[in-house]
A and B are shown apart, each in its own frame.
Chain A
Amino acid sequence: MKQEDSWWLQGFQKLKNNRLALICLYFIIFICFLALTAKWISPYPFDEQHIDDLLKSPNTTYWFGTDKLGRDLLSRIIYGARMSMAVGIITAVISLLIGAVYGAVSGWFGGWTDSIMMRVVDIAYSIPSLVIMILVKVVFDSMDLFDNPELKALSGTLIALSIVGWVSLARLVRGQVLQVKEMAYIEAGRALGFGHIQLLWRHVLPNILGPIIVMLTFRIPANILFESFLSFIGLGLQPPFSSWGVLASDGADLLESFPHLILFPGAALFFTMMAFQLLGDGLRDAFDPKMKL
């Protein structure tokens, strides 16, 4: 265990020295904080209309201005962070869980299990993801899975993105497991009579965690982007809820007259994506320099 700790400590040390990655990490934590406390810190409710203040430019009352229904843009962006981050993180975690278990089982048992399971992955890989997402989303939006209105608005998107996302993670994890499987310490564990679960959980997992974390960091912005794609083609969240994608695509129509409508949500989206990307780079340099992403 001592050896392992020092490897992790080394990684964290490297990350700590990478100032850019740290700034990005703080930025992401800040956005998450906004998202979680949206109810208390946003100046107005996200769906409150101010009929006398339609399409106001940024001013002291409305810091980021108002949209065409007179809703405060800052509040909508803060609530949008809630939706966008929820989509990004939840789908990344779900697809990670599915992909990791699938890939680990496939790589660990090898042989016939592996070839059949990988054939399934090949098939999943050959279906254009947007096709699947559209179909799955339309199917699941018609079902009432959650009572919570926010989750209900998200459910189709969440499931669609998770179904698409697990494939590449399964491939990654399988490749890693195949490498680790041949190591001497696994052989030793097997000789000591450890079971499959114990070996996988206690001995394989800690050794492949680095690439998994890096991959996860790159998945989150990709999912946020996919959600905004869906919103853009009219398959996103149901109004009055908003994500950054919804806000930006609404704002795109009025860019010339009211640039603030696309500028602020666009900037939020852009900088968050950038932060995840740079943090991912930093994590990769710290924990798995050989990884090609």
Chain B
Amino acid sequence: MKVVGPVLFWSTALLALAMILSDLFFMYVPSILVTLFWTVFLVAILYGVVRQNLLSYFVRRLVSSLFVIAVIATMTFFMLRLLPGGPFDEEKALPDHVKANIEKKYGLNKPLLNQYWDHMSGIATGHLGYSYKYEGREVSSIIKDAFPVSFKLGFYALVLSFLIGVPLGLVAAAHHGTRIDAAAMVAAISGISLPSFLMAPILIYIFSFGWPINKLFPGFYEWMLHYDILLPAALWHSPRHYILPVVTLGVRPAAFIARLTRTSVLDVIHSDFVRTAHSKGLSEKVVLYHHVLRNSLVPVLTYAGPLVAGILSGSFIVEIIFAIPGIAKYFVQSVFNRDYPLIMALTLLFSVMLIFANLVVDLLYKVVDPRIDVS
């Protein structure tokens, strides 16, 4: 029985790695790999839940999540109707009978409560309806096209932020009170204070246009162009296009994680079991990696839930700046267009992701540290 847990964990990790590599090298992730990954991931979670006797907690959380989603859908529905202006108010007013026909087509002439009922039952059965503005397109097909791009961007940013943040915080804490610590924390504070809409143009001008070196040495741009080392400033065609947006999106969370890791490591370093480990004569490295890091990652993990939320909203700006064909542009645009079905679907999509991320983080939390009482 003891083998199952690690096998599930490592196969999830390996499948994730395979997906990343396949995306980076072939620009394509076979759908069977995606299905396999999510299956193994869910099985792993369920296994952990059963193993830790969290089944009733898990079921309760799922039920309450459904309730929360229903409330959010209701609130969004009525808030949208509160917005001034309707979906078919054009600058040049449509003739009344044309407008009436259009509204009839989308069921907007029915009483509000009927519309509400249609909407909710549609969501419950998985029919999200047709977009008002992107004519003839189903909302689900819009999401299917745009969402994977946003997901990829967010996912890579998340990975990057942990890859930078945790080591940075660890190094800072290990050199507590020295210049290394100060430098790492100045970097982290700068990262937090630099908004992405400042960061993005600066990165673009440096890495896509060779500015300001190009100003000092004319010809530098051509040189970089010749050796093909400039990064593309927009769009999303190849892994090279990923670099700037992912860095822009990942820096702020990385800085937060670095600060959090540092405080958490400093907390753990002063605890009794670390002193014991030292007095056993274990080397500094072993203590740091085996005893301290593992225990100090728990608070960092709890941050991962809200982090997903932060990355979701941060990706709006990044997608707009880098002209990435993700979901962000639909979001802002659909609110202006009063495209009710699309706004509703996107809001629910974001909420579901947020709830799911928080649930997974809470469960992981429990698995990493069984002493914690999550319920």
Which residues of A does B touch, CB under 8 Å? 119, 122-123, 126-131, 134-136, 138-139, 142, 221, 225, 228-229, 232-235, 245, 248-249, 252, 255-256, 262, 266, 269-271, 273-274, 277-278, 292
Contacts and interface: CB of A to CB of B under 8 A. Distances in A.
Interface of B: 64, 68-69, 71-72, 75-76, 79-80, 82-84, 189-190, 192-195, 197-198, 200-202, 205, 209, 211, 260, 263-264, 299, 309, 312-313, 316-317, 320, 331-332, 335, 346-347, 350-351, 354-355, 358
A225 B195 contact: yes
A256 B83 contact: no
A160 B227 CA distance: 48
A31 to B, nearest CB: 14
B195 A233 contact: no
A22 to B, nearest CB: 16
Contacts of A266: 198
B235 to A, nearest CB: 18
A252 B195 contact: no
Nearest to A273: B193
B83 A139 contact: yes
A60 B213 CA distance: 27
Contact of B309 (A129, A233, A255, A271): A129
11 contacts: A127-B347, A135-B80, A135-B335, A139-B82, A221-B193, A248-B198, A256-B211, A270-B190, A270-B195, A273-B195, A274-B193
Nearest to B80: A135
A256 B198 contact: no
A128 B309 contact: yes
B87 to A, nearest CB: 14
A270 B209 contact: no
Q: Which 3 A-B pairs have the closest CB atoms?
A: A273-B193, A128-B350, A130-B313
Contacts of B299: 292
Contacts of A129: 309, 313
B72 A123 contact: yes
A127 to B, nearest CB: 6
A134 B309 contact: no
Contact of B189 (A138, A256, A274): A274
A126 B68 contact: yes
Contacts of B190: 270, 274
Given A135-B80, A262-B201, A128 B193 contact: no
B205 A255 contact: yes
A127 B351 contact: yes
B211 A130 contact: no
Given A138-B335, A273-B192, A274-B190, A128 B354 contact: yes
Instruction: Name, among B76, B201, B358, the residue most crowded by chain A CB atoms within 10 Å (CB to CB).
Output: B201
Q: Which of A119, A131, A248 has the most CB of B within 10 A?
A: A131
A128 B316 CA distance: 12
B260 A292 contact: yes
Nearest to A129: B313
Contacts of A235: 332
Given A128-B313, A277-B189, A292-B264, A255 B72 contact: no
B126 to A, nearest CB: 20
A135 B83 contact: yes
A262 B317 contact: no
Contact of A233 (B189, B263, B316): B316
B72 A252 contact: no
Contacts of B201: 252, 255, 262
Contact of A249 (B82, B84, B197, B331): B197
A115 B68 CA distance: 14
Nearest to B256: A293
Contact of B193 (A131, A277, A292): A277
Given A292-B263, A292-B264, A234 B332 contact: yes
Nearest to B338: A138
A173 to B, nearest CB: 17
Contact of B68 (A122, A229, A252, A255): A122
Contacts of B264: 292
B317 A232 contact: yes
B335 A134 contact: yes
Contacts of A269: 195, 198
A138 B71 contact: no
Contacts of A245: 195, 197
Tell me which of B75, B193, B299, B332 has the highest count of chain A C-beta atoms within 10 A of its own C-beta: B193
A126 B79 contact: no
Contact of A232 (B189, B197, B335): B197
A160 to B, nearest CB: 12
A130 B350 CA distance: 10
B325 to A, nearest CB: 17
A271 B192 CA distance: 11
Contacts of B205: 255-256
